[in-house]
Structure 1
Amino acid sequence: MKKLLAILSKAGLDGFLLMIGMMILLAYFLPQPGMVKEPISLEQIAGVGVSLIFLFYGLRLSVENLKAGLVNWKMHIIVQLTTFLFFPLIVLAFRPLFVGTDFEVLWLGIFFLAALPSTVSSSVVMVSIAKGNIPAAIFNASISSLIGVVVTPLWVGLFIASASGHFDATDIVIKLLLQVLLPVIVGICLNARFGAIAEKYKKQLKQFDQAIILTIIYTSFCKSFSEHLFAGFTALELAGLAAGMIALFFAVFFCVGLLSRLFGFSDEDRITILFCGSKKSLVHGTVMSKVLFQHSTITGIVLLPLMLYHALQLIAASIIAQSMARRKEEK
């Protein structure tokens, strides 16, 4: 247990997972602050925070490093196809089981999770522990985040209208351009001048990211609880959702592992493909939900599968990474 906690601490997400749970409880017992509109709402603060998150993310992206990472293109194609095609298609295959039931919105949350980019920090940490190709992991996680800005909204937009009752494509595209894509581009352009400063204060920037994410989670669940949207879910059904999320992780992990063996990748590259292809980003999920599900009360439910997957993927991936490292040491 101590080793597991040390790994989670290294990823900077141990206390953060606890804070997520606390925000949900706070939203349940004290939803009023999250619903206040005047003089300024927490939603407005989170909206500005989303833009700053992507600006700081762009500041830490070096164009030169991205160009250098293109060398191992076969690996990158497999990782990105897994992240943005294979993952969503798996979840899409189960849609008929949810259509017309009380769990259709929950399926939208699972599909939203499946369409998200890979996480950056924990993917690199797990690849490092398992002794994989770390530069390739950094490249894949970074490029995945950029691709996700475009691909995730395209996937999710196909189903938002049926679940939330409305989908203003023009408004959402404009918001994505202004709140997400533009800040990233500005950040990349400023990398040469301010990239070193952003890297120096990356710990503080990560704390800022987490604060904004917690704010989004709190306000989202305030809306959902105020509309009693979770009243229809039993503890057994939520446990079933958690079991489904860990099953999804292992299904993708197994299939990606098999694919990487068939293509004859080295052990180091295979490790990178496994961890980068099977993980999903809580950061991108929460900030994109702010844009894609704006003014919607279903955001809390939509984020629930992502938060469960995020916690479970960290635990499962850390155990697997340690096991891989031990096997390498024994050789």
Structure 2
Amino acid sequence: MILKLLRKMAGDWFLAGMIAAVVLASLFPGFGAAGGAMHADVVSDAGIFAVFLLHGLALSTRSLRQGMARWKLHLLVQTLTFVAFPLLFIPFKAVFGGLVPEGLMLGFLYLCALPSTIQSSVAMTAIGKGNVPAAIFNATLSGLLGIFLTPAIVGLAIDMQGAGGMPFGKAVANLATLLFLPFVLGQVLRPVFGRLAARHKKGINVFDKLVILMLVYGSFCDSVKSGLWTNNGIEVIAMTIGGAALFLGMALFISTKVSARLGFSKEDQITAIFCGSKKTLASGVPMARLLFGAHPALGMIVLPIMFYHQLQLFVCSIMAGRFASRFDAPTVPDASGAGGPAVAAVRVRSQA
């Protein structure tokens, strides 16, 4: 299983693209930096608007309605995402604040404040035989709430540290204009263009990833010009991987224990685990560009979510496979032989 996943990641063009974007930004930072020939600000805004317009076109409103009833599950997932996760940052900063560079620490704060991701949350829930309609609803709700809660959480923490940052009102206005507005517009246009979007789902997914790669490149161009690599070494990468793995492990542990303690069904537990531990790269990089603008450490700020994204896919793929295997386990007739194989077959069907 692990070797299969490693081979899959090795052939992932998006992962290779992120590495290439960082390398190109390190070699040619002037082109994509603020004021460069790429005109990163204009191109980035246009790309972000287009991505969320297409997200709105592609998302089924019927699937959202089907998942709305499980309010206890929704409350748990959103609490994990926007309360428990940000609270984990407090002990992390207390322990590692003297070791982790300021820009990278801001990146970990930003990671904790991000909403869940739609695509991989739903995909992992489906593979693990969880509650897919509830996963769709939760991941979508998380993305919409993140437009308002992510800048609020980051702004509150920055103010507590006595640092400057984009005003909350301006941050929300930027996110609403370039994320929420096109998403709503896509939903409005869905009756007309929804089938067209469905037919070109793969192309939309590719475009989505290309925009993210462009944003990663632009973010690192600004940071490289500000001394990202000259002022920091390989230890930054090691810190980022270690910190991302630590946050993922804590999130999976908490979501697993709490959902089980609340007595959720196995299907709802799987949904809570995958939706409550995920963080979005697709929205995270565009939001970082809008929230932090030309911040000199922007490249370092997005590093944690870049590594967290790959780790969550790797670990959660293994977990989803194990969850799904519960349906493959052979059933053993009871000692009395009552019912024999017929009872075993009924048991398997009842589990499904």
TM-score by length of 2: 0.85
Q: Note the residue ranges of structure 1 that are not aligned, 5 or more in a row.
A: none
Alignment partner of 1:74 is 2:72: yes
8 A Cα contact 2:32 2:218, kept in partner? yes
Which whole-Å CA distance do the structure 2 matches of 1:166 and 1:131 have between them?
Answer: 42
DSSP-derived class of the 2:186 partner: helix
Q: What's the CA shift for 1:159?
A: 3.8
Alignment partner of 1:319 is 2:282: no
Alignment partner of 1:133 is 2:134: no
Which whole-Å CA distance do the structure 2 matches of 1:168 and 1:147 have between them?
Answer: 18
* 1:192-238, Cα deviation, whole Å (9 max, x unpaired): 22222222212111111111111110011011111113334332343
Alignment partner of 1:52 is 2:16: no
Alignment partner of 1:301 is 2:300: yes
Percentage of identical aligned residues: 38
DSSP-derived class of the 2:279 partner: coil
8 A Cα contact 1:7 1:318, kept in partner? no
Q: How many residues align?
A: 328
8 A Cα contact 2:256 2:273, kept in partner? yes
* 1:227-262, Cα deviation, whole Å (9 max, x unpaired): 113334332343133122112111111111111111
Deviates more, 1:247-256 or 1:127-136: 127-136
DSSP-derived class of the 2:125 partner: helix
Which residue is equivalent to 1:104?
102
Q: What amino acid sits opposite 1:211 in the alignment?
A: L
Alignment CA distance shift 1:294-1:36 (3 Å): closer
Deviates more, 1:175-184 or 1:262-271: 175-184
Alignment CA distance shift 1:208-1:163 (3 Å): farther
Highest relative contact order (Cα 8 Å, sep 6+), 1 or 2? Answer: 1
Which whole-Å CA distance do the structure 2 matches of 1:39 and 1:252 have between them?
Answer: 41
DSSP-derived class of the 1:118 partner: coil
Q: What's the CA shift for 1:97?
A: 4.3
Q: What's the CA shift for 1:327?
A: 3.8
Which residue is equivalent to 2:180?
181
Which whole-Å CA distance do the structure 1 matches of 2:286 and 2:212 have between them?
Answer: 7
8 A Cα contact 2:226 2:297, kept in partner? no
Which residue is equivalent to 1:329?
328
* 1:268-296, Cα deviation, whole Å (9 max, x unpaired): 11111111111111011001011101122
Which residue is equivalent to 1:120?
118
Q: What amino acid sits opposite 2:102 in the alignment?
A: E
Which whole-Å CA distance do the structure 2 matches of 1:90 and 1:38 have between them?
Answer: 38
Which whole-Å CA distance do the structure 2 matches of 1:243 and 1:100 have between them?
Answer: 15
8 A Cα contact 1:160 1:167, kept in partner? no
Q: What amino acid sits opposite 2:296 in the alignment?
A: T
8 A Cα contact 1:117 1:148, kept in partner? yes
Q: What amino acid sits opposite 1:307 in the alignment?
A: M
* 1:71-94, Cα deviation, whole Å (9 max, x unpaired): 111111111111111111111333
Which whole-Å CA distance do the structure 2 matches of 1:267 and 1:75 have between them?
Answer: 12
Which whole-Å CA distance do the structure 1 matches of 2:232 and 2:37 have between them?
Answer: 35
* 1:150-196, Cα deviation, whole Å (9 max, x unpaired): 11111112245668744234432332222122112212222222222
DSSP-derived class of the 2:67 partner: helix
Q: What amino acid sits opposite 1:4 in the alignment?
A: L
Alignment CA distance shift 1:299-1:36 (3 Å): closer
Which residue is equivalent to 2:257?
258
Q: What's the CA shift for 1:98?
A: 5.6
* 1:47-87, Cα deviation, whole Å (9 max, x unpaired): 11111111111222344432332111111111111111111
Larger Rg belongs to: 2
Which whole-Å CA distance do the structure 1 matches of 2:242 and 2:156 have between them?
Answer: 26
TM-score by length of 1: 0.91
Which whole-Å CA distance do the structure 1 matches of 2:329 and 2:119 have between them?
Answer: 27
Q: What's the CA shift for 1:100?
A: 7.2
Which residue is equivalent to 1:4?
5
Query: Matches of residues 1-331 of structure 1 in structure 2 within 5 Å?
Result: 3-4=4-5, 14-35=12-33, 37=35, 41-97=39-95, 103-160=101-158, 165-331=164-330
* 1:12-44, Cα deviation, whole Å (9 max, x unpaired): x92211110110011111212213736761331
